[in-house]
Chain A
Amino acid sequence: MLEIKDLHAKVGDKEILKGVNLVVKPGEVHAIMGPNGAGKSTLSSVLAGREVFDVTKGEVHFQGKDLLALPAEDRAREGVFMSFQYPVEIPGVNTVNFLKTAVNEHRKYKGLEPLAAGAFLKLMREKQALVEMDAKLMNRSVNEGFSGGEKKKNEIFQMAMLEPKLSILDETDSGLDIDALRIVSQGVNTLKTPETSTIVITHYQRLLDYIVPDVVHVLYDGRIVKTAGRELVAELEEKGYDWIKKELEEH
């Protein structure tokens, strides 16, 4: 599904990713954990195609394609979805129009006809129910005046609408209360199939109680310094990140 080789990226003169290696197979859930400033959000932004980051070295292949050669919109159409840590408010852009445009641009890319209005509404209602999204929000501008929880639900709702192959959840748990966390996680789990993969980027254990990872990585100072099974989550929660730093210094 996804293969990252020796990825280096910088913003301005500051190198943030210093050689990331990662392989995600279909059906797998990977958690990327790490202290603040380790480069977690940069990694997700680089994968999604944000131009402020310069990739200075390395390769990323997504289903055999050179992901870094594609503009952000084509990455999305190929099946990469990023749930934003801070979803952007876009005044004046109606949520329904936005979704319709997005869904139809995906279809166009695949050579399909635009979805008829009725079919689109049906799809929308179905997916709305999945994340218990308030239908009234659909008539508002994208994320405008949404609460933190509503914004995150809206991300997962969009994910449900676009049916990506690889979902990258960037700190989806930040700013969520326990109920919203449960709803969002349930949404993610329901959408999971043996063919789709998920990368969960998080600072805390909380979200991983709901979305259980197959593989856990620790990203520190721009590199993945530790990879293990799900048992690593509990260990990190208990001991923090300092022991990993120490371990690194000793080597």
Chain B
Amino acid sequence: MSVEKINKDFQDLFVQGKELLYNGVNDLMNEKREIAFNRFIEGGIPDKKNENYKNTDLSKIYERDYNVVLNYHRQDVDLNDVFTCDVPNLDTHLVLTTNGWYYARNHELSGLPDGVIVCSLQEASIKHKDLFEKHYGKYTISDNGVTDLNTAFAQDGYFIYVPENVILEKTIQIVNLMRANADLMSFQRNLIIIGKNSQAKFMVCDHALSSVNFLSNNLTEICAEENAVVDYYQLQSQTLKCSLVDSVFVNQEKNSNVLNHTVTLYGGLIRNNIFTKLSGENAENHTYGMYLTDSVQHVDNYTYIDHASAKCFSKENFKGVLDDKSTVGFTGRIEVRPDSQQTEAYQNNNNLLISDDAKVFTKPQLVIDADDVKCSHGATVGQIDEDALFYLRSRGIGAKEARMMMVFAFTNEIIGKIRIEPIRERVAQLVEKRLRGEDSHCDACKLQCNK
């Protein structure tokens, strides 16, 4: 099937589903939908000819026939019973989504500070119209079809608003659950707004509860207003049958501090787009990622840090361990605009290949138009240090365990960047289990459909 055919299918879907798509949300969302759709049909799904998609041919995953459900479907079980999070010692506000929709039977969150809003995107677009309209679609860049496709078909997701001067102690945990009887394509759209001087922490988990093929196109906009502090952790733990195209757009106002941390434990094809715009002076951004791949998995991280204001700081570090025939891509674009003096931007991508057949494509892309900047970038692709391995073995540690220690050591640096201790410990455990080849992505689910 060609890209033209895929694009034609989306056109048909848009026309046929128009009534459902436009239903239940506010006008601005539909205006943007219309614009995005028109732009999408001009550009279409990005294929390998697109420079930013050289490592990931999306037409391959969009070729498959999926169901698309343009209204909320009830699940036949209560997902609150099916899914329990097993991060011990961590008390969170838990929000579930199902197949891209805000779960209707989410428990009401108790103990939220005054003014904090956690609800579905649909509800927010109507009930909190001013807030919604001020931010929705403001932080996206439509330089590829993926963003426009999401805006064209997005109907729901979660909406979180933390007003000025609020420190949210508890982490908000969002669990995106995919559960269906047949192959399914979904579009989820989320919006997070953290007001001036406020602080919030998020833990987002991507899980699949069924062993059908899923294709998710998720997009999250995060606005950190002046002096806000935001931790955004994402744990991607799906199945080999899942494809996830996940875009996060972060906008940072002056003196804000954002930590964006993505751990890709498992999935068939995962493409992460992480766009960060440092809009105000003295903003600080930390973007970290880790990917563990085996089998025929494909993981591609595309990051874009836009130093649009002076005196900002960004640090970026992605590390991965590749086994079997897996393939990985990393692109790190950093742009320092002409007036963004006294910028500091650092980037690193390190890969550990533990099989002969795994492949990695890594590309730093620095565009520096200011003269008073400190920038650095580095990329490595290597294997396990044989001298170190022998050292461990000479102390009585078995070859397999020694190898495991070395690989785990490699990932430690990224795990160490997690600022919440129970999450850090839990991620460390999950990574270790994953590296030992023990199934970890289904641990938290009671359905145990893969067992």
Contact = CB atoms under 8 A, between A and B. Distances in A.
Is chain B a partner of chain A in the same complex?
Answer: yes
B396 A109 contact: yes
A42 interface: no
A90 B396 contact: no
Contacts, number: 75
Given A72-B390, A72-B394, A88-B387, A105 B409 contact: no
A97 to B, nearest CB: 8
A76 B396 CA distance: 5
B19 to A, nearest CB: 56
Given A88-B387, A92-B409, A92-B412, A71 B395 contact: no
B346 interface: no
Interface string A203-245: 0000000000000000000000000000000000000000000
Contacts of A72: 390, 393-394
Given A50-B390, A88-B387, A92-B412, A106 B406 contact: no
Interface string A156-167: 001000100000
Interface of B (DSSP majority class): helix
Nearest to A50: B390
Contacts of A189: none
Contacts of B397: 73, 98, 101-102, 105
Nearest to A87: B391
Contacts of A51: 390
Interface size class of A (residues with CB under 8 A): 20 to 34
Given A98-B405, A141-B409, A90 B392 contact: yes
A20 B176 CA distance: 66
A35 interface: no
- Give chain B's interface residue range (CB within 8 Å of chain A): 20 to 34
Nearest to B395: A102
Interface in A97-151: 97-98, 101-102, 105-106, 109, 141-142
Contacts of A49: 393-394
A84 B388 CA distance: 12
Interface of B: 385, 387-388, 390-399, 401-402, 405-406, 408-413
18 contacts: A49-B393, A72-B390, A72-B394, A73-B399, A87-B391, A88-B385, A89-B388, A90-B385, A90-B392, A91-B409, A92-B412, A93-B392, A98-B392, A102-B392, A102-B396, A102-B397, A105-B401, A109-B396
7 interchain residue pairs of minimum CB distance: A92-B409, A76-B396, A72-B393, A88-B391, A102-B395, A93-B409, A92-B412
